[in-house]
C-alpha cells in the first residue's frame, strides 16, 4: 500500500476501504453528525424526503448554542422545533441552551475520538482535528442526507503540512500562529486542503491552545485539519471515552502538496484588520485604534486558559470609559471553572459583563451586536463585514490577552505595554 | 447541454456573510424571502434586478466562510444558474452541487468577462464563451454531475428512496 496522509487514512476508514488516494470520491459514513440551532431547518428538509426515522440516531449530536437563550419568539420557536426532533428521534447526545458551543461541548464530552470522522452542519467542524479526528463542515441538505442514509460523498483532499519549530515567546499564542499563516498564504491558501500540523512547538501547546489551530483553519479554506494525538490527548480522553479507538497517523513518505516550516519564536502578537482574516498586522501597527467593544468568547478562544489570560490582564484594572468588555465562556464547564478560579470575579470588578455560554454575538444573532460605526476587537475566528450583525461596524481579531488589554485602555493595545 | 445568461461580476473573497447575512439564518426560512436578501451586503441592487438565467462571475474564494446553504439557495431561488469563479469555497462548492447550482472554476474566463455581458456555457465541451473568447474548464467529476443532473442531492435521494420503496 502506498504511504497515506491522515486524510487518506481517515476517509478510507470512514468509507470502509483499505486505502484511498487524494482526488478519489468516496461514500463516507461519519461516526458523528453534528448540528445545532440549524437542526430545525435540517429536520424540515429531512421529513420532506418522506422518511420518519433517522437511520442512526445514536450518531447525531445536537447543541443549542447559536442564539441562546432565545432572543426572539422566532428563535424560541426554532429551539422548540429542535427539541421536538430530539425527542422524536431519541437523540442522546443533545445539549440544552447554556451548555455551550457545539465544538467545545463535544470536545469536553469526548463524543468524537481520535481517528473517527465527524461531519457537521457548521463550518468550524474542522475543530476536531485537535484530537486527531477528521472533522469537516457540510451543508444542511447534506446533513439531511446523512440522517437518511448514514453516508455522504466526499472527495479525498490533498494535504498541506506545517512543521512548527522553536520556542513560544511570552504573549504569543496559537491564535497568532494561525493569523500569521493565514496572513502569509491568504484566506484561500488552504482552500480544499487537509492541513496537517506537526513538530515540537505544536506538541508543547496545551490541549486548549491546540484546539485553536484546526478551528482557525476553517478561515484558511481547509476541508479538515489534523494534529497528531499524543499522550496528553489520550490522558484527557481516558476518563471520558465511551468506546475504544484507534488513533491514525500519517505515513512517513506520504504525498504533500506543500510543506511549510514555521519558527514560532519569530512570532509576535497580531491582529486581523476589518473585514479580512488575512489582513494581518502586528498589534503595534494599529496601536491607538479606538474600540467601543471588546469581546472574549467563541469556539476559538472562549476556553478557561483564554479567560485566565484575560483575567491576568484585567486584575486590578478597569474597563476604559467608552468601552465595554463582554465575556462569554465557551461552555458551562468553562464558566464553572472560571468562577472557581476567581476570573469571573475579576471581570465583574473590572466592569465587564458576562453572557450565557454559547456563540453570543459571534455571528450577529444577539447579545452584543455593535452599533453602526463602532469598532469591536474580538477573540473570534471570523471578521467578515456584517459578521456581528451590523454591516457598518469594524471588527478586529486578536488573542484574548490583546482583547483584554484593549478593553483596559479603550484602544488596541499589546498587553506587554500595560504598566506593571 | 448549452445555455447562456447575463453576468454579474464580483471580486475576490466574497464571503457567505455578504451573500446571505448571518442575522437572517434563523429568521428567514421561506426560499422566496431568501432571494430578496441575496447579496444584500455586497450589492444592494442585485436582488431587485436579477433575472432568471443570470450567471454570477467571481474572483477567488467565492462563498468562503459559513456552511450556510442559504447562500446558495438565495441565488438559485433568484434564478441564477451558474457561478463562474477563479476558485470557490469548499462548502459553498458542495452546497452548490447539492442544490444544482453549477459551480464552474475557470480563472481565464473570469478575467475576460465584462460585467453585464451575456456569456454561454457548454457543459459537454466544458467551455465558457464570452465576447473575448472561449475558455475551457476542467470537467466536473461524473459523481458530481450525476447530482446536478438529478436536480440536486435531495432530488437524487428522493429518486433513490422511491426506487428502494418499489423494491
Ligand atoms: S462561536 Fe462563532 S464560529 Fe464558533 S460555532 Fe459559534 S457562531 Fe460559529
Phi-psi region of B152 (alpha: psi -120 to 50; beta: other; left: phi over 0): left
Query: Which of chain A's residues have a Cβ under 8 Å away from the Cβ of B59?
Result: none
Is the pLDDT higher at B91 or at A193? A193
* Structural domain ending residue among the three candidates A245, A262, A279: A262
> What pLDDT band is residue B1 in, cutting at 50, 70 and 90?
confident
For B85, residues 6+ apart whose C-beta sits below 8 A from its C-beta are: B56, B57, B58, B59, B60, B62, B103, B104, B105, B106, B110
3-class secondary-structure state, position B103: strand
- The partner residue sitting opposite B41, judged by closest CB among A72, A148, A391, is A391
> What pLDDT band is residue B138 in, cutting at 50, 70 and 90?
confident
> What pLDDT band is residue B65 in, cutting at 50, 70 and 90?
confident
Beta bridge partners of A271: A281
Q: Are residues A250 and A291 in the same domain?
A: no
Q: Are residues A330 and A224 in the same domain?
A: no
For A298, residues 6+ apart whose C-beta sits below 8 A from its C-beta are: A101, A328, A330, A359, A360, A362, A378, A379, A380, A381
For the question of whether the overall pTM of this predicted structure is more than 0.95, the answer is no
State residue A194's pLDDT score: 98
State residue A337's pLDDT score: 98
A274 at the B interface (CB within 8 A)?
no
Answer whether A133 contacts ligand 1 (Cβ < 6 A).
no
What is the extent of the structural domain holding A199?
Answer: 6-262
Answer whether A101 contacts ligand 1 (Cβ < 6 A).
yes
User: How many structural domains compose chain A?
Assistant: 2
Encode pLDDT of A106-118 as tens digits: 999 999 999 999 9
> Which ligand 1 atom minimizes the distance to the CA of A102?
5
Q: Report the DSSP pairing between strands A32-35 and A270-272.
A: unpaired
Q: Are residues A147 and A280 in the same domain?
A: no
Q: Are residues A233 and A297 in the same domain?
A: no
Q: Quick one: B115 exposed, middle or buried, by C-beta within 10 A (0-12, 13-18, 19+)? A: exposed
Average of per-residue pLDDT values in chain B: 92
Distance A416 CA to ligand 1 centre (A): 29
- Three-class secondary structure assignment of B48-89: HHCCCCCEEEECCCECECCCCCHHHHHHHHCCCCEEEECCEC
State the Cα–Cα distance between residues B116 and A81, nearest whole angstrom: 43
| Mean pLDDT to the nearest integer, A3-29 | 95
A163 at the B interface (CB within 8 A)?
no
State the Cα–Cα distance between residues B85 and A215, nearest whole angstrom: 26
Q: Is residue A309 part of a domain?
A: yes
B27 at the A interface (CB within 8 A)?
yes
> Which ligand 1 atom minimizes the distance to the CA of A381?
3
Record: contact A138-B21, CB cut-off 8 A:
no
Q: Is residue A119 part of a domain?
A: yes
Answer whether A359 contacts ligand 1 (Cβ < 6 A).
yes
State the Cα–Cα distance between residues A313 and A325, nearest whole angstrom: 13
Say what the ipTM of the complex is: 0.87
Beta bridge partners of A165: A263
Q: Is residue A1 part of a domain?
A: no
Distance A403 CA to ligand 1 centre (A): 18
| Mean pLDDT to the nearest integer, A125-152 | 96
Encode pLDDT of B91-105 as tens digits: 899 999 999 999 999
Q: Are residues A245 and A101 in the same domain?
A: yes
A50 at the B interface (CB within 8 A)?
yes
Q: Are residues A220 and A304 in the same domain?
A: no
Provide the 8-state DSSP code for B20.
S
How many Cβ atoms sit within 10 Å of the Cβ of residue A227? Answer: 25
> What pLDDT band is residue A152 in, cutting at 50, 70 and 90?
very high
Question: Is it the case that residue A25 has pLDDT exceeding 90?
Answer: no
Range with lowest mean pLDDT among A95-99, A382-386, A413-417: A382-386
Which three cell numbers, joined as nine digits, stand for A83?
A: 427539541
Q: Is residue A110 part of a domain?
A: yes
Range with lowest mean pLDDT among A60-69, A156-165, A384-393: A384-393
Angle of helix A207-216 relative to helix A304-314, nearest 10 degrees, comes to 100
Q: Are residues A316 and A246 in the same domain?
A: no
CATH number at residue B78: 3.20.19.10
* Structural domain ending residue among the three candidates A262, A292, A322: A262
Which three cell numbers, joined as nine digits, stand for A140?
A: 444542511
Grid coordinates 522553536 are at which residue?
A166
Which stretch of DSSP H or E encloses residue B90? helix B90-98
Q: Are residues A286 and A256 in the same domain?
A: no
Q: Are residues A252 and A292 in the same domain?
A: no
Q: Is residue A329 part of a domain?
A: yes
Q: Is residue B36 part of a domain?
A: yes
Contacts with B, A 282-311, CB within 8 Å = none
Answer whether A299 contacts ligand 1 (Cβ < 6 A).
yes
Query: Which of chain A's residues have a Cβ under 8 Å away from the Cβ of B154?
Result: 45, 48-49, 141, 144-145
Which residue has a Cα nearest atom 6 of ligand 1?
A359
User: How many structural domains compose chain B?
Assistant: 1
Mutate to test the pocket of ligand 1, among A211, A328, A359 (most ligand atoms within 8 A of CB): A359
State residue B43's pLDDT score: 93
Q: Are residues A299 and A247 in the same domain?
A: no
Percent with pLDDT over 90 in chain A: 96
Grid coordinates 462548502 are at which residue?
B91
Question: Is it the case that residue B76 has pLDDT exceeding 90?
Answer: yes
Record: contact B41-A191, CB cut-off 8 A:
no
Q: Is residue A407 part of a domain?
A: yes
Percent with pLDDT over 90 in chain B: 73
Q: Is residue B151 part of a domain?
A: no
Q: Are residues A284 and A198 in the same domain?
A: no
Contacts with B, A 320-339, CB within 8 Å = none
Q: Are residues A79 and A100 in the same domain?
A: yes
* Structural domain ending residue among the three candidates A201, A229, A262: A262
B136 at the A interface (CB within 8 A)?
no
Contact between residue A148 and residue A29 where contact means Cβ atoms under 8 Å apart: no
| Mean pLDDT to the nearest integer, B66-89 | 93
Closest Cα of chain B to A90: distance in Å? Answer: 23
CATH number at residue A290: 3.30.499.10
Closest Cα of chain B to A391: distance in Å? Answer: 7
State the Cα–Cα distance between residues B165 and B74, nearest whole angstrom: 32
Provide the 8-state DSSP code for B22.
G
Q: Is residue B147 part of a domain?
A: no
Instruction: Count how many pairs of residues, chain A against chain B, have C-beta atoms within 8 Å.
Output: 123
- The partner residue sitting opposite B143, judged by closest CB among A25, A50, A66, is A25
What is the extent of the structural domain holding B122?
Answer: 2-139
Q: What are phi and psi of A250, to 5 degrees?
A: -65, 150
Amino acid at each position: 500500500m502506498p504511504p497515506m496522509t491522515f486524510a487518506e487514512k481517515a476517509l478510507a476508514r470512514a468509507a470502509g476501504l483499505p486505502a484511498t488516494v487524494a482526488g478519489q470520491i468516496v461514500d463516507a459514513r461519519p461516526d458523528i453528525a453534528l448540528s445545532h440551532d440549524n437542526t430545525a431547518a435540517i429536520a424540515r428538509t429531512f421529513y420532506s424526503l418522506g422518511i420518519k426515522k433517522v437511520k442512526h440516531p445514536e450518531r447525531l449530536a445536537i447543541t443549542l448554542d447559536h442564539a441562546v437563550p432565545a432572543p426572539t419568539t422566532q428563535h424560541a420557536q426554532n429551539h422548540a422545533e429542535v427539541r421536538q426532533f430530539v425527542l422524536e428521534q431519541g437523540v442522546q447526545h443533545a445539549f440544552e441552551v447554556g451548555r455551550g458551543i457545539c465544538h467545545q461541548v463535544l470536545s469536553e464530552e469526548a463524543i468524537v475520538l481520535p481517528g473517527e470522522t465527524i461531519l457537521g452542519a457548521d463550518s468550524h467542524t474542522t475543530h476536531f482535528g485537535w484530537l486527531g479526528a477528521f472533522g469537516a463542515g457540510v451543508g444542511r441538505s447534506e446533513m439531511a442526507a446523512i440522517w437518511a442514509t448514514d453516508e455522504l460523498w466526499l472527495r479525498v483532499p490533498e494535504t498541506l503540512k506545517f512543521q512548527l519549530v522553536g520556542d513560544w515567546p511570552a504573549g504569543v499564542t496559537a491564535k497568532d500562529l494561525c493569523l500569521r499563516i493565514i496572513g502569509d498564504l491568504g484566506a484561500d491558501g488552504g482552500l480544499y486542503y487537509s492541513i496537517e500540523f506537526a513538530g515540537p512547538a505544536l506538541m508543547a501547546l496545551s490541549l486548549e491552545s491546540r484546539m485553536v489551530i484546526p478551528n482557525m483553519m476553517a478561515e484558511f479554506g481547509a476541508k479538515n485539519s489534523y494534529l497528531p494525538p499524543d499522550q496528553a490527548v489520550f490522558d484527557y480522553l481516558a476518563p471520558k471515552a465511551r468506546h475504544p479507538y484507534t488513533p491514525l497517523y500519517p505515513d512517513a513518505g506520504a504525498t504533500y502538496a506543500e510543506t511549510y516550516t514555521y519558527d514560532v519564536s519569530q512570532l509576535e502578537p497580531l491582529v486581523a484588520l476589518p473585514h479580512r482574516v488575512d489582513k494581518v498586522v502586528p498589534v503595534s501597527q494599529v496601536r491607538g485604534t479606538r474600540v467601543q467593544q471588546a469581546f472574549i468568547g467563541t469556539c476559538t478562544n472562549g476556553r478557561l486558559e483564554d479567560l485566565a489570560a484575560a483575567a491576568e490582564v484585567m486584575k486590578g484594572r478597569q474597563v476604559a470609559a467608552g468601552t465595554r468588555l463582554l465575556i462569554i465562556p465557551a461552555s458551562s464547564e468553562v464558566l464553572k471553572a472560571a468562577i472557581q478560579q476567581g476570573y469571573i470575579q475579576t471581570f465583574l470588578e473590572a466592569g465587564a459583563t458576562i453572557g450565557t455560554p454559547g456563540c453570543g454575538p459571534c455571528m450577529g444573532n444577539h447579545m452584543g451586536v455593535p452599533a453602526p460605526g463602532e469598532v469591536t476587537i474580538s477573540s473570534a475566528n471570523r471578521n467578515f463585514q456584517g459578521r456581528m450583525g451590523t454591516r457598518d461596524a469594524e471588527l478586529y481579531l486578536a488573542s484574548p490577552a490583546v482583547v483584554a488589554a484593549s478593553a483596559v485602555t479603550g484602544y488596541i493595545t499589546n498587553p506587554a505595554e500595560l504598566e506593571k | 447541454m448549452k445555455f447562456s445568461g447575463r453576468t454579474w461580476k464580483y471580486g475576490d473573497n466574497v464571503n457567505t456573510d455578504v451573500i446571505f447575512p448571518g442575522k437572517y439564518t434563523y429568521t428567514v426560512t421561506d426560499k422566496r424571502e431568501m432571494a430578496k436578501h441575496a447579496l444584500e451586503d455586497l450589492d444592494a441592487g442585485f436582488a431587485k434586478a436579477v433575472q432568471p438565467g443570470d450567471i454570477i462571475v467571481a474572483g477567488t474564494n467565492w462563498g468562503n466562510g459559513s456552511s450556510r446553504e442559504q447562500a446558495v439557495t438565495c441565488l438559485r431561488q433568484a434564478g441564477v444558474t451558474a457561478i463562474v469563479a477563479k476558485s470557490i469555497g469548499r462548502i459553498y462548492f458542495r452546497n452548490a452541487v447539492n442544490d444544482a447550482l453549477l459551480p464552474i472554476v475557470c480563472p481565464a474566463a473570469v478575467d475576460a468577462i465584462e460585467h453585464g455581458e451575456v456569456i454561454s456555457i457548454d457543459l459537454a465541451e466544458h467551455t465558457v464563451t464570452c465576447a473575448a473568447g472561449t475558455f475551457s474548464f476542467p470537467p466536473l467529476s461524473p459523481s458530481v454531475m450525476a447530482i446536478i443532473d438529478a436536480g440536486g442531492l435531495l432530488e437524487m435521494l428522493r429518486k433513490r428512496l422511491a426506487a428502494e420503496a418499489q423494491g
